[in-house]
Structure 1
Amino acid sequence: MPQPSPRSALPLAVGLFLAVVTGLVLPIQGRINGALSVVLNDGIAASVVSFTTGLAVIAVISMATPKGRNGLRSIVPAVRNRSFPRFYVMAGGVGAFFVFAQSYTVGLLGVAVFTVASVTGQTLSGLLVDRLGIAPGGKRAVTGLRVLGSGLTVAAVAWAVSPHFGASTDVGMMVLPVLLPLLAGFLMSFQQAMNGTATVHYGTPLATTVVNFLAGAVVLWIAWLIKALIAGTGNPLPAEWWYYLGGPLGCIAIGLAALLVRSLGVLITGLGMIAGQLLGSLMLDVVIPTSGTVVALPTVLGTLLTLAAIIVATLPWPKGAFARRGASKGR
């Protein structure tokens, strides 16, 4: 069984590009799942459909490829031998919780506040997870540039979504609801780290994605059944095929993220995906606008600032560079 190595050989520039591409997928997935939620009149049902179709697609791909079949066969031995903590198999539950937080709080907070809260949580936990060394790439120091890049990212996201903030927002009423997306975002970095570690032991992100979608689907099916018993079901499933693309797009995002955390670490992977989300959202709003779409100057400038924040966070800075420079001046 493969063992974790300190770092993979994926170049930083390539890894960052893939992280941004991974982030580009998420707004498209969100737009599809949001439209499905409206058609079904049930946000949890839309999430169930997304996770179930994603599970079906990734299971078929895994069983149809030799590497995928080997990965599936390695799941039970890896868990039985405690190659990693067993609760890592429930990493998909974090994705289900994120979807639940999204469906429950977006109506109360709005998309803008939800985005800022979740990005803030994810950025803070990215620093923590890298420092603890939970991801397969090992520990990564919390440098001044990484902290600066993280702070710039949160500020940039807030600036980019600021045109969506309502003028009549009651801040006091938002304090408790905003804790849910903050926690959901905070847990996302841990999910990425757990998936990265599991991928090393399974030998392929295909198996990791299967386990994620299985865990998430189970959690969401239970939640939907409880909701159906209490409040009834929503509308019937639509016939249009594109409503069912959210799950397959999620497969791409989870699989790529599981690969990238080994090379980039959790923080930089997360920042790259955040930049991709903003770019993807901006492109969707320009090309396929929806009712209430706002594309203002702060949206564009905030997106560009997010890209700058990633560059700051990934800049190599020699240890003791300032000390050497100061010492040379004193001679």
Structure 2
Amino acid sequence: MASPDTRSNAVPLAMAGAAGILMPLQALITSNAALYLGGYLAAALFSSITSLACLLVASLAIPAARAGWKRFGAVWRERTIPRWYILAGVIGAYYMLAQALSVGNIGLALFAVAVVGARTISSILIDVIGFSPAGKQPITRRRIIGAAILVIGAVIAAWDPITHSGQSPAAVISLAIAVVAGLLVSFQQSMNGRAGQAYGSTTTATGLNYLASSAGLIVAMSIAGLLHIEPFGYSAIPAWWMYFAGPLGILFVVTGVTLVPKLGSLVLGIGLVTGQLLGSLILDLILSPEKVSGNEIAGTLVTLLAVFIASWQPNGRPRWKAQKAS
């Protein structure tokens, strides 16, 4: 029997939106870092290693994180969660690489809309099959309408970049890379959420995510260097502003690990991508206000409407109250 819980979903949804707002800044930093460091893989690896270093320091300082690392061995031996969940870090590596590859060719707005549309579809699938720690979530008419409005708002926001990029082969490839990143990132968050529950530590789950991410990127960089696709290593010393990409990535992963058990994949995704579009709009207003169109502003407002609809209850009040099985 389900009983009302006094905890509110308004705060975690707001936290998801806040984390989403910072995602475009991470994408912008990673994309520009590729020009300085000698390639896309180098930029993604630098972001991943920076994140890993921060998390290792946190693991030493936080008692729960130290306990989580000790519990990792038992979880691995007993297969409390499938061992292939470690691949969540590889998905994270791909997402960082997709940022570096795509933003320079299609821009922040179009990268955002590609990720938004794809992750909305995969989030619905995850909630239907019960892959996230929240278990199976009802895909009600209200949630479907909210997701559809969110995608429409994202397309409106990026309509001008879409029409201008359609004839460029590099833009088409970058768009496909971004779509795949959006499809995979919901699965990554669900895997990390289950891992966080198994280890009893968000820090441990996030640290393992970046450990696998860094390892995957080193292998990819080695292969690219051997094939003369991209040089191995860095061509320049990282600038101070490049160090911020790592902590921003940590915030994104930690948000997923912490909130997906409470909100489910679809509602978490709606909060994150709404923040992502708001962040893209804010960055555009700061960096190039002359390029901000009415479409971008209107599309962002439509996505805010989608969040409200997805959280609405049939009794006419927002679904701010969570429920749990008693």
Task: Please state which band the TM-score falls in when normalised by the shorter chain.
Answer: 0.7 to 0.9
1:97-116 map, 5 Å? 97-106=94-103, 109-116=106-113
Q: Is the 8 A contact 1:105 1:181 kept in 2?
A: yes
Counterpart for residue 310 of structure 2: 313
Structure 1: which 5+ runs fail to align?
A: 1-5, 319-331
- Indicate how the Cα distance of structure 1 residues 113 and 282 shifts in structure 2: closer, same or farther if over 3 A, else same: closer
Counterpart for residue 235 of structure 1: 235
Say whether 1:265 aligns with 2:269: no
Counterpart for residue 297 of structure 1: 294
Q: Is the 8 A contact 1:7 1:262 kept in 2?
A: no
User: 1:43: Cα distance to partner?
Assistant: 1.3
1:32-111 map, 5 Å? 32-106=29-103, 109-111=106-108
Relative to the length of structure 2, the TM-score reads: 0.87
State how far apart, in whole Å, the 2-side matches of 1:10 and 1:118 are.
Answer: 30
- SS for the counterpart of 1:141 is coil
Counterpart for residue 249 of structure 2: 250
- Indicate how the Cα distance of structure 1 residues 168 and 81 shifts in structure 2: closer, same or farther if over 3 A, else same: closer
State how far apart, in whole Å, the 2-side matches of 1:154 and 1:276 are.
Answer: 14
Q: Is the 8 A contact 2:284 2:291 kept in 1?
A: yes
User: 1:213: Cα distance to partner?
Assistant: 0.4
User: 1:299: Cα distance to partner?
Assistant: 1.1
State how far apart, in whole Å, the 2-side matches of 1:160 and 1:81 are.
Answer: 47
Q: Is the 8 A contact 2:106 2:165 kept in 1?
A: no
User: 1:7: Cα distance to partner?
Assistant: 11
Counterpart for residue 186 of structure 2: 189
Say whether 1:150 aligns with 2:153: no
1:315 partner amino acid? W
Relative to the length of structure 1, the TM-score reads: 0.86
- Indicate how the Cα distance of structure 1 residues 161 and 180 shifts in structure 2: closer, same or farther if over 3 A, else same: same
Say whether 1:122 aligns with 2:119: yes
Q: Is the 8 A contact 2:28 2:108 kept in 1?
A: no
Higher mean alpha-carbon deviation, 121-130 vs 6-15, is at: 6-15
User: 1:129: Cα distance to partner?
Assistant: 0.4
State how far apart, in whole Å, the 2-side matches of 1:108 and 1:249 are.
Answer: 22
Q: Is the 8 A contact 1:22 1:257 kept in 2?
A: no
User: 1:113: Cα distance to partner?
Assistant: 3.9
User: 1:108: Cα distance to partner?
Assistant: 5.4
Match of 2:201 among 196, 204, 228: 204
State how far apart, in whole Å, the 1-side matches of 2:219 and 2:16 are.
Answer: 32
2:284 partner amino acid? D
Q: Higher Cα Rg: structure 1 or 2?
A: 1
- Offset from partner CA, 1:73-123 (integer Å, 9 cap, x none): 111211211111111122111111222334444555554443322221100
State how far apart, in whole Å, the 2-side matches of 1:175 and 1:296 are.
Answer: 22
Identity %: 35
User: 1:302: Cα distance to partner?
Assistant: 0.9
User: 1:301: Cα distance to partner?
Assistant: 1.4
Q: Is the 8 A contact 1:95 1:216 kept in 2?
A: yes
Q: Is the 8 A contact 1:44 1:224 kept in 2?
A: yes
Say whether 1:16 aligns with 2:9: no
- Indicate how the Cα distance of structure 1 residues 62 and 168 shifts in structure 2: closer, same or farther if over 3 A, else same: closer
- Indicate how the Cα distance of structure 1 residues 27 and 232 shifts in structure 2: closer, same or farther if over 3 A, else same: same
User: 1:64: Cα distance to partner?
Assistant: 1.4
Counterpart for residue 26 of structure 1: 23
Provide the aligned length of Structure 1 versus Structure 2.
Answer: 310
State how far apart, in whole Å, the 2-side matches of 1:109 and 1:29 are.
Answer: 16
What's the C-alpha RMSD, in Å, of the aligned pairs? 2.4
